[in-house]
Structure 1
Amino acid sequence: MRLTLEPLDPGRDLALLRAWVTHPRSVFWGMQDATPAQVHDEYARIADDPHHHALLGRADGEPAFLMERYDPSHSPLAGLPELRPGDVGMHVLVAPTDAPVHGFTAAVVRRVMEECFADPAARRVVVEPDARNDKIAVLNAAVGFVVAREVELPDKTAALSFCSRADFTASALGGTA
């Protein structure tokens, strides 16, 4: 299976994106009741933000996941004492499906981490999932994330977590970052 990434186009990809972010399995994405206009506006805002990028992931050419990469010093995490130069923030959403493929989500998370570490300046990847999201916590641990602490963000209590290149390479799903 070939996993590729390309810039998300908020206009072209709107119907697909809205179906993903409003799906009941995507509850932790925080957009359950978003209208098409709200989804478009959010991703148009990201497209205009030099510190935040949304990428559409494809599996063998078919849309399959969403990746966001951001500079945590220009995010709601700005000012946290744990942040360091070279940190890269990341969000990932695998498209909801009625026909899950064993190992697919793990492969996506590994590919997303490889993309984050493709930039030689990236020293650590930062994530801040909802602290109640047990499924992503398992995946994050499998690629080397370590929870630093819980932090209160405007929309959730988040499990602030970090993964260094060395942690990723040594992890169960690790790569050669």
Structure 2
Amino acid sequence: MRGESETSETEGNRPCYDYRRYDAEADRTVSFRPATPERDLRRLHAWLGSDHVKPYWQLDLSLDRFRERFREKLADDHLTPYVGCLDHVPMSYWECYRAADDSVANHYDADDADRGVHLLVGPEEYLGRGYALPLLRGAVAMQFEMSEAERVVAEPDARNDRAIRVFERCGFESEGEFRFDEAGKDAVLLVCDRERFEAEVLGDGATETDANGPEVRR
């Protein structure tokens, strides 16, 4: 894996992951750590300016303007930005949020405990290689383990067929398309139920760990 785009974060001081999971199907370790300006500003700025990201995130900004937006996200107490890693190599960006406090709640019957997720894969060399699904499995598992949520929702751009297919393979079910004016897009509301996810998606072949604890066979 090393050399595809980034240096493994196991070199030097190991980051404090909020969640770490070995995905047996992908034969990769998936991990998530909170994003910080010191470590991630320039890499996220580059990723969000990539051609495959710009049409959906609309954050192709100057570095100074992006720095301001990133600070706003970090100050937003309903949302946590994460950097997602494969085998400890940073290669994706995630936003995990409380759906009831987000504008998506204007478009469905949100429960106070619902969680939501946004995602992008950054370096182009990771695209089309089947990594999005194990990453999403890990992110959804993290949301369920770190909260009392019974549902995780997503609202991808309706044009983004590839992302929608990945969500559906991860146990999300479509509740239809809607005009998401607050986000400036036509979106598809996708909902993942905890019981279905844990029974049908996680399966029996995964080994999970937290940042510091022992591995647990599911």
- TM superposition score normalised by structure 1: 0.89
* The structure with more radius of gyration: 2
Alignment RMSD: 1.9
- Among candidates 8, 12, 18, match of residue 45 of structure 2: 18
Higher mean C-alpha deviation, range 20-29 or range 71-80: 71-80
Q: Residue type matched to 2:63 in 1?
A: P
Q: Deviations over 1:12-37 (max 9, x none)?
A: 31110011111011121222x31112
Q: Which residue of 1 aligns with 2:115?
A: 88
On the 8 A contact 1:72/1:78 being kept in 2, the answer is yes
- Among candidates 147, 152, 162, match of residue 174 of structure 2: 147
Q: Is there any run of 5+ residues in structure 2 with no aligned partner, and where?
A: 1-27, 204-217
On the 8 A contact 2:30/2:135 being kept in 1, the answer is yes
Q: Which residue of 2 aligns with 1:67?
A: 94
Identity of aligned residues (%): 28
Shift of 1:65: 1.0
Q: Using CA pairs under 8 Å that are at least 6 residues apart, name the structure with larger relative contact order, 1 or 2.
A: 2
Q: Is there any run of 5+ residues in structure 1 with no aligned partner, and where?
A: none
The number of equivalent residue pairs is 174
Shift of 1:142: 0.1
Q: Which residue of 2 aligns with 1:168?
A: 197
- Among candidates 51, 73, 82, match of residue 55 of structure 1: 82
Are positions 1:29 and 2:73 aligned together?
A: no
- TM superposition score normalised by structure 2: 0.73
Q: Which residue of 1 aligns with 2:150?
A: 123
Q: Secondary structure at the match of 1:79?
A: helix
Q: Secondary structure at the match of 1:122?
A: coil
Q: Distance in 2 between matches of 1:120 and 1:12?
A: 26
Shift of 1:129: 0.5
Shift of 1:146: 1.0
Q: Residue type matched to 1:139 in 2?
A: V
Q: Distance in 1 between matches of 2:66 and 2:142?
A: 24
Cα separation, partners in 2 of 1:106 and 1:78, compared to 1, 3 Å = closer
Q: Distance in 1 between matches of 2:150 and 2:63?
A: 36
